[in-house]
Amino acid sequence: MDKKLIDESKKYLMNTYNRAPIVLRKGRGMKVWDSTGKEYIDFVGGVAVNCLGHCHPKVVIAIQKQAQRLIHVSNLYHIEPQIRLAKLLVDNSFADKVFFCNSGAEAIEGAIKLARKYSKDPVAGSKYEIIAALGSFHGRTLAALSATGQEKFQKGFEPLLPGFKHVPFNDVDALKNAISANTCAVLLEPVQGEGGVRFPSEDYLKEVRQICDENRLLLVLDEIQTGMGRTGKLFAYEHYGIQPDIMTLAKGLGGGVAIGAILAKENVAAAFQPGTHASTFGGNPLACAAAVVTMETLLEDGFMFDHCRRIGKYFKDSLERLKKDFPSYIAEIRGLGLLIGMEMTRAGGPIVDTCMGRGLLINCTSGNVLRFTPPLIVNEKEIDHLIDTLEDIFARQ
């Protein structure tokens, strides 16, 4: 343990995170090393960010080259990598137009603004209310926090922004009942990641899409965690036979570099005109160059998606076998591609700590759900090693 650095971290940084007592210094592929030289296999992947693994050579080179050419100029000018990235996103999604920002929460803020702006009707009056789901997570800025359906994140920050209603996830009737004359949009994660890796029930998203169409509401999908191949398709909505009107992206988009995006259909995007929304850093050359190469690598021959689906199933099946051996520890396994949650019958924190001691980084969300969001390059051997370690930990308890 690097006591001096960790003491300084606690001295100088605001106390907003329960950080693990290690300082990570280097990463390659699935592995990271701390400041004492200890090696870890990383099943967190920067929380679903490092989709190609740590320091993928193509990403590193793209950043190096772009840094030598141009780092920042602002959106007063056209930016080559930003245009290329927008085209890649449009060519591979439901969307016609893209707006770039710098994080997930910022993408949600922009999506809320876009939905409200689009729904300002000079004749009919303005609709502004957004219905979101309980158990959702949309980020920490004030509007994103107001959209988030979990009180534990909101406590102490009241008053929240008005104009949000929350209904149980997977409850179509509750959603219908919540619609009022003021409702303009429904905001959902296709899979609730932070909320414990919770999946939509069969046909839920299709029914939501239909309800939105019947009531002329926008469907906004938050794919910040589920996007960029995480579930075995580029975007999770592709699994469910629907398309949103607006979608937010961030996390995996830049292959590790901070970037967020709002994608929308042409008619919706048209609500944004010069002066209505902006970002100084959004879509800067450096972040976009990293995102372009990340996306190109993901899309190459569809290789990564096939691998993600196959290895994700292998991972899930392995965890199911573990569950059979330890039914009193493990309540349920939920997963699609490489977004996998293992709900425990007890707190997950101590298991995360024990794994770390044994050179494995995993994450716990919602108190008792172990969440696995490794880079999409993870292989069988690494999964076997994780399973063996978990088995050993459970057997010793």
CB 10, min distance to ligand PLP, A = 22
Residues 6+ apart with CB under 8 A from 385: 41, 360
**Which is closer to ligand PLP, CB of 222 or CB of 245?**
222
**Nearest residue by C-beta to ligand PLP?**
104
CB 36, min distance to ligand PLP, A = 28
Distance CA 222, CA 211 (A): 18
Distance CA 66, CA 45 (A): 24
The residue ranges that bind ligand PLP (CB under 6 A) are: 103-105, 108, 137-139, 189, 193-194, 222, 224-225, 250-251
**Which is closer to ligand PLP, CB of 53 or CB of 193?**
193
Q: What is the DSSP string of 323-356?
A: HHH-TTTEEEEEEETTEEEEEESS-SHHHHHHHH
CB 139, min distance to ligand PLP, A = 4
Distance CA 55, CA 105 (A): 25
CB 104, min distance to ligand PLP, A = 2
Half-sphere exposure of residue 36: CA atoms within 13 angstroms, side-chain side: 12
The amino acid at residue 47 is V
Half-sphere exposure of residue 276: CA atoms within 13 angstroms, side-chain side: 17
Torsion angle in degrees (nearest 10) through CA of 33, 39, 41, 43: -50
Distance CA 60, CA 27 (A): 12
**Which is closer to ligand PLP, CB of 318 or CB of 373?**
373
Report strand pairing: 97-101 vs 260-264.
antiparallel
Q: Which helix (H) or strand (E) holds 33?
A: strand 31-34
Give which of 203, 208, 221, 214 is closest to 147, Cα–Cα: 221
Strand order in the sheet with 31-34: 24-28, 31-34, 39-42, 360-361
How deeply is 178 buried, as exposed, middle or buried, from its count of CB atoms within 10 A (0-12, 13-18, 19+)?
middle
CB 144, min distance to ligand PLP, A = 7
CB 397, min distance to ligand PLP, A = 30
**8 A C-beta contact, residue 188 and residue 208:** yes
For residue 95, give both structure tokens. 């969307």
CB 106, min distance to ligand PLP, A = 7
Ramachandran assignment for 282, one of left (phi > 0), alpha (psi -120 to 50 degrees), beta (any other): beta
CB 122, min distance to ligand PLP, A = 32
CB 160, min distance to ligand PLP, A = 16
Start-to-end Cα distance in the chain = 25
CB 189, min distance to ligand PLP, A = 5
